């Protein structure tokens, strides 16, 4: 006999089902594409000048590599959001740590992609100044890459351990995840592909187990533990606070020449601004995870749209942080602003819609939470004002006021989520 469920129940079950399959597909595509790129792209161990000459001879390869890495950053973050929701039972602490490490890994992958696109743009400028700028860029921000990419591989092990602690995978899955971290650090030509293969095997089996478990449970999702909810609320508020602080300290400049004149040969302020931008990107991802997990039943479709916008926005914000580092490097090398023309030609066509995604994320989640009955219509209306003002490119006091409005909306939403006991029970076993 086939049970006929009411439409509201069917809708409530379909949303987590779609989220599960979308997250699983995102994670699988990340590992498969990453594995393939290990053999398709290589830096060849060349010095800076030789690298730029090679890129100048075939710029399409570097540009393709850069965009692939940005796409991989988005796919990885989508997988992290899926795994964050799948590790809420026993071993939740490992899953929470994996989420944190995975978000940092997203920033690292984004920086690698932006480095490739920046090198492609520099290769179109005079060689001597381009080499000096690329060396200065590596000195200013290159040291971020290793710890951030280590976090990305560490997240694989942490998620595998969490899934094992929940009892849904065998211990070899956790062992393979841990081995991926060790292998990735080995000075071996094939350490990258081997580590990715172990990660794919470990989390691939874990993903299959999660899907089977959720299917057997009727696609019912477990609520998050209290500490995760509070951490997510802190991300939502911290995102806007840090954004306000960044805009207050660094007003920015539309004219690259003015920006270079302001920094001169002292790149520290722009490096600080770049680090703050990376922090904003990480908090943006954490906020996305918080809001995605805060909608049940009605409004789930809007929340899914907000999740996609949040993933795209996180990558675009981290990319803008890389541009701060580039401006600092130009101040050191004295190469001028000639690189921004070629770079704009590479980035501009795609980044305009990405900027829009950043502002629409808050609108989508406010609408979803209103639709689900967690909040009233007022935060949604304020989020619309926030998004509209953002599109007119505010600067100075207007920009600060816009961010302050965003803080009101984010704080309002976070408060209502924390107060919603039907979403977050006082105790979760």
Segment 349-370, tens digit of pLDDT: 777 677 777 889 999 999 999 9
Segment 391-416, tens digit of pLDDT: 776 677 888 888 899 999 999 999 99
> What is the DSSP annotation of 228-263?
HHHHHHHHHHHHHHHHHHHHHH----S-HHHHHHHH
Q: Taking the CA of residue 202 as centre, how many other CA atoms within 13 Å lie in the half-sphere pointing to its CB?
A: 30
- Mapped onto helix, strand or coil, the DSSP state of residue 355 is helix
Angle, vertex CA 235, rays to CA 297 and CA 283, nearest 5: 105
The DSSP secondary-structure symbol of 295 reads: -
What ranges do the domains of the chain cover?
11-419
Q: Which of 114, 45, 109, 44 is nearest to 75 (CA)?
A: 109
Q: Taking the CA of residue 87 as centre, how many other CA atoms within 13 Å lie in the half-sphere pointing to its CB?
A: 33
Cα separation, 85 vs 189, in Å, equals: 35
- Mapped onto helix, strand or coil, the DSSP state of residue 223 is coil
pTM for this one?
A: 0.90
Place of tokens 């207007």: 398
Segment 230-262, tens digit of pLDDT: 999 999 999 999 999 988 887 665 566 666 666
CB contact at 8 A, 202 and 160: yes
Q: What is the band of 158 on the pLDDT scale with cuts at 50, 70, 90?
A: very high
Q: Which of 370, 372, 374 is nearest to 421 (CA)?
A: 374
Contacts of 57 (CB under 8 A, 6+ apart): none
Can you give the pLDDT at residue 260? 65
The DSSP secondary-structure symbol of 393 reads: -
Segment 76-94, tens digit of pLDDT: 999 999 999 888 878 789 9
Place of tokens 């998620």: 159
């Amino acid at each position: 006999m086939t049970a006929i469920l009411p439409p509201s129940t069917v809708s409530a079950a379909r949303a987590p089902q779609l989220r599960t399959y979308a997250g699983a597909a995102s994670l699988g595509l990340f590992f498969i594409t990453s594995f393939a790129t290990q053999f398709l792209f290589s830096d060849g161990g060349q010095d800076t000048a030789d690298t730029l000459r090679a890129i100048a001879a075939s710029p399409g390869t570097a540009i393709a590599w850069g965009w692939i890495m940005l796409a991989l950053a988005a796919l990885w973050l989508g997988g992290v959001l899926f795994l964050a929701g799948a590790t809420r039972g026993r071993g939740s602490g490992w899953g929470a740590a994996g989420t944190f490490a995975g978000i940092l890994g997203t920033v690292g992958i984004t920086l690698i992609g932006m480095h490739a696109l920046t090198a492609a743009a520099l290769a179109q400028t005079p060689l001597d100044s381009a080499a000096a700028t690329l060396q200065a860029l590596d000195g200013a921000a290159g040291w971020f890459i290793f710890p951030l990419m280590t976090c990305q591989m560490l997240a694989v092990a942490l998620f595998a351990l969490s899934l094992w602690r929940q009892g849904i995978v065998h211990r070899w899955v956790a062992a393979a995840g841990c081995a991926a971290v060790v292998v990735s650090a080995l000075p071996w030509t094939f350490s990258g592909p081997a580590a990715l293969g172990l990660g794919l095997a470990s989390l691939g089996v874990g993903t299959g187990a999660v899907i089977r478990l959720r299917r057997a449970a009727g696609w019912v999702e477990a609520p998050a533990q209290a500490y995760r909810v509070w951490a997510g609320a802190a991300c939502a508020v911290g995102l806007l606070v840090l954004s306000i602080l960044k805009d207050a300290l660094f007003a920015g400049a539309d004219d690259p020449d003015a920006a270079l004149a302001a920094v001169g040969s002292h790149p520290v302020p722009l490096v600080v601004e770049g680090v703050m931008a990376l922090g904003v990107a990480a908090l943006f991802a954490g906020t996305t995870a918080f809001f995605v997990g805060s909608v049940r039943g009605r409004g789930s479709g809007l929340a899914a749209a907000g999740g996609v916008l949040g993933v795209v926005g996180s990558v675009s914000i981290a990319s803008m942080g890389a541009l701060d580092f580039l401006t600092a490097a130009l101040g050191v090398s004295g190469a001028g602003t000639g690189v921004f023309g070629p770079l704009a030609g590479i980035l501009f066509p795609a980044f305009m819609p990405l900027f829009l995604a950043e502002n629409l994320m808050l609108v989508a989640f406010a609408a979803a939470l209103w639709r689900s009955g967690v909040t009233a219509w007022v935060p949604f209306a304020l989020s619309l004002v926030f998004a509209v003002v953002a599109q007119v490119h505010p600067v100075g006091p207007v920009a600060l006021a816009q961010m302050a409005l965003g803080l009101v909306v984010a704080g309002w939403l976070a408060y209502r989520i924390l107060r919603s006991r039907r979403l977050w029970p006082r105790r979760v076993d």
